[in-house]
Chain A
Amino acid sequence: MPMTDNSAAKTGAATEGARARDRLALLTADNASVPLPAGVQAVTAILLAALLIALPWLGLGYRFLSIAITTLYTAIGLYGLGLQFGQAGIMSVGHAALMGVGAYASAILSVQLGLGFWTSLPFAMALSAIVGGVIGLPTLRVGGQHYIIITFCFCALFVIVLTNGGTFTGSATGLDVGSVTPLPGINFDKLSNNYYLVLAALFLALAATYLIGISRYGRTLRAIRENEQLARSVGINVDLHKLGVLMVSGLFAGLAGVLQLYYLRHISPTLFGAFPSLYLALMVMLGGARYLYGPLIGAVIVNFLPEVLNLDPVDSRIAYGVCLLLVILLLPGGVAAGIKNIYCALAGGFDRQGGGLNGRA
């Protein structure tokens, strides 16, 4: 008799363990393709937009707003990286250099030809897109990791070229620009107006990412990510799409770079070197590349964490490293995946068999 009791207890423990494992699996599951109900999506978007718009009025101070601007323009660049990595599966660790192409193009146009923010922006974005496509050419020939190393080389090369560029690129000291050309009634020298300028660009980036995500184009990119051979066999022009997404990513990077230039008013090569590039890769992985708000979450965490924890630079770097390891080990899909999973678990509508939401719209 005790035997059966014991075994019953054992089975009980086993199912308990299995249930705990199930719960853990639910939290770490990759749910990027599971759509949330349209209502939830709309409410999230409106709340987030309201929060971001209200931010300068919350009286959080000059320093907070400065970090917020940094976060937002970084996030714009990250949406490009999120698109190419999250949707098409092409990672790059030279993305800061692509932002640098935009920033330097705009700065050089300003110094040499006297073009202002608005007139140089289209040229800078176009140049970033073209450079993005050109660096992307090797990805047609070589696979993932080789391409990553090529992007890293490009980034290092870009910094060397800038540093040796003489007065044209301002060498190691870099270049200075004036302020954003004022629109009627709006002077961008005021920090909160600069914030709204960057925020408007972020909304554009978000909208573009959302639209690409739900469109046929986004589905094509995901098909390439999941199985390139299969995508090719059903008649998708894989090469064209890969170059295309890298160029779109370059557009985002160019926009982010120009915004960075006109916020800092001074750029130097080190801003676009290997380390900033690695941090961009870190942020996008941390936040979750496949999620609409993932890149934004990653940028917020990395930019605000040292501030919140009040760490000195060395400790904050160590904290980044540890965070990154923990996220990759525990939440391979990024923080956004964790948040979405927790929401699904709390909402209780998670259908275990189907793996989808019961109340999906």
Chain B
Amino acid sequence: MDIFVQQLVNSLSVASVTILIGIGITLIFGLAGIVNFAHGEFLMVGGMATWFMVGAGMNFFVALVFAGLLVGALGFAAERCLFRFTLNRPMNGFIMSIGLSVILQHAIIRVFNEFQKSITDPVGLVWTIGGVDIIAMRAIVVAITAVIVAITYFGISRSRYGMALRASVSDRDTAELMGIPVRRYVTGVFIYGSLLAGIGGALMISLFPITPFTGSVIIIRGFAVSLIGGLGNVGGAVVGGLVLGLVDGLSAGYGYPEWTDAYSLVVMILILVLRPQGLLGGTLGPKAS
């Protein structure tokens, strides 16, 4: 039982990172209409930047903020220089994001190297609650994710910006006529999603080592989460992240570990085929061209 609870806590912290990348993708894909395959690389860049800054003697939590801002700026540059020109041809944007992902991955290898990087646990505490050892950093990761999820959820569903955003998704032309600067919203969503990826990367490297290739592994997970929950649906991304994180964590502990990745892929294919709008419903994403 204790082992089960421990597995559960561990899965929850892994799920947190998945949820963060999933929210980023669900917003960018579902609301801004951009399929950004380089999102996983954004996360990896955030992790690498954190590693570099912590290695240079910076406090982890300061580095986390800087990593978020850096990757947010990267997202801004990518949107302005690349994706802006392919808004009407999402397929071209998708292919371009593959190119961007390859560039970022190998630029990191060029600047650092291809070996895995890790930082020491920035908190270094272990809490024992009812016989269960909980690593404090893991609890902090879950807490930070919970705060971000809450902010994003209420931002999208309650604030006037969120309402304007959803208006521009459901009817772009009408929203423009109502005076909503749709393009600026697209940029804003892209930056926000990228920022979350940067924070996710920083949190990820506090949990386990990452390599320059981590991004391309986690991206498919991010798409899985956002599609399972329903595109553009923040609550859906949380549900998707929990489902996937728990399936992973528990199958690693109990099932056949070598098939861990296969479970999430199968779940994803089934949901995509049987319920393309996701478990909780969402937009169907941009029209394919």
Contact = CB atoms under 8 A, between A and B. Distances in A.
Interface of A: 89, 91, 93, 137-138, 141-146, 148-150, 152-154, 156-157, 160-161, 163-164, 274-275, 278, 281-282, 285, 314-315, 317-318, 320-325, 328-329, 332
Contact of B92 (A149, A163, A328): A328
Given A148-B94, A314-B110, A321-B100, A332 B258 contact: no
Interface stretch (B67-75, B188-196, B235-243, B260-268): B260-268
Contacts of B227: 146, 149
Interface string B68-106: 000000000000001001100111101110111111011
A-B pairs with lowest CB-CB distance, top 3 = A144-B288, A324-B99, A321-B103
B284 interface: yes
Interface stretch (B128-136, B138-146, B155-163, B269-277): B269-277
B102 A157 contact: no
Contacts of B269: 138, 150, 153-154, 157
A42 B92 CA distance: 32
Contacts of A149: 220, 223, 227, 268, 272
A153 B106 contact: no
Contact of B266 (A157, A324, A329): A157
B230 interface: no
B202 interface: no
B265 A142 contact: no
A150 B272 contact: yes
A91 B93 CA distance: 13
B184 interface: no
A142 B276 contact: yes
6 contacts: A91-B91, A154-B269, A282-B98, A318-B103, A321-B100, A323-B99
Given A145-B285, A145-B288, A318 B35 contact: no
- Interface secondary structure of B, over-half rule: helix
Contact of A146 (B103, B262, B276): B276
A325 B258 contact: no
B286 A317 contact: no
A107 to B, nearest CB: 22
Nearest to A321: B103
A321 B102 contact: yes
A160 B109 CA distance: 26
A141 B107 contact: no
B221 to A, nearest CB: 10
Given A153-B220, A332-B92, A321 B110 contact: no
- Interface secondary structure of A, over-half rule: helix
A285 B94 CA distance: 11
Given A157-B266, A328-B92, A142 B272 contact: yes
A99 B86 CA distance: 30
B99 A321 contact: yes
A167 to B, nearest CB: 15
Residue of A137, A149, A318 ringed by the most chain B CB atoms within 10 A:
A149
A259 B258 CA distance: 30
A329 B95 contact: no
A325 B99 contact: yes
Contact of A274 (B99, B216, B273): B216
Contacts of A146: 227, 272, 276, 285
B96 A150 contact: no
Interface residues on chain B, size class: 35 or more
Residue of B95, B110, B276 ringed by the most chain A CB atoms within 10 A:
B95
A328 B96 contact: yes
Contact of B262 (A160, A325, A332): A160
Contacts of B100: 321, 325
B82 A320 contact: no
A322 B99 contact: yes
B157 to A, nearest CB: 24
B96 A325 contact: yes
Nearest to A316: B106
A314 B95 CA distance: 20
Nearest to A320: B102
A184 B258 CA distance: 47
B259 interface: yes
A361 B64 CA distance: 64
A282 B95 contact: yes
Contacts of A141: 273, 276
Nearest to A144: B288
A332 B85 CA distance: 11
Given A153-B268, A274-B220, A325-B100, 15 more contacts: A91-B91, A138-B269, A143-B284, A145-B90, A148-B35, A153-B269, A156-B261, A160-B258, A278-B98, A315-B110, A318-B106, A320-B99, A321-B102, A321-B106, A329-B82
B99 A144 contact: no
A318 B95 contact: no
A278 B99 CA distance: 9
Contacts of A89: 288
A156 to B, nearest CB: 6
A328 B258 contact: no
Residue of B94, B223, B259, B289 ringed by the most chain A CB atoms within 10 A:
B94
Contacts of B272: 138, 142, 146, 149-150, 153
B103 A322 contact: yes
Contacts of B284: 143
B203 to A, nearest CB: 24
Nearest to A154: B269
Contacts of A274: 216, 220
Contacts of A91: 91
A281 B98 contact: yes
B109 A314 contact: yes
Contacts of A152: 220, 223
B254 to A, nearest CB: 17
Contacts of B102: 278, 317-318, 320-321, 324
Nearest to A143: B288
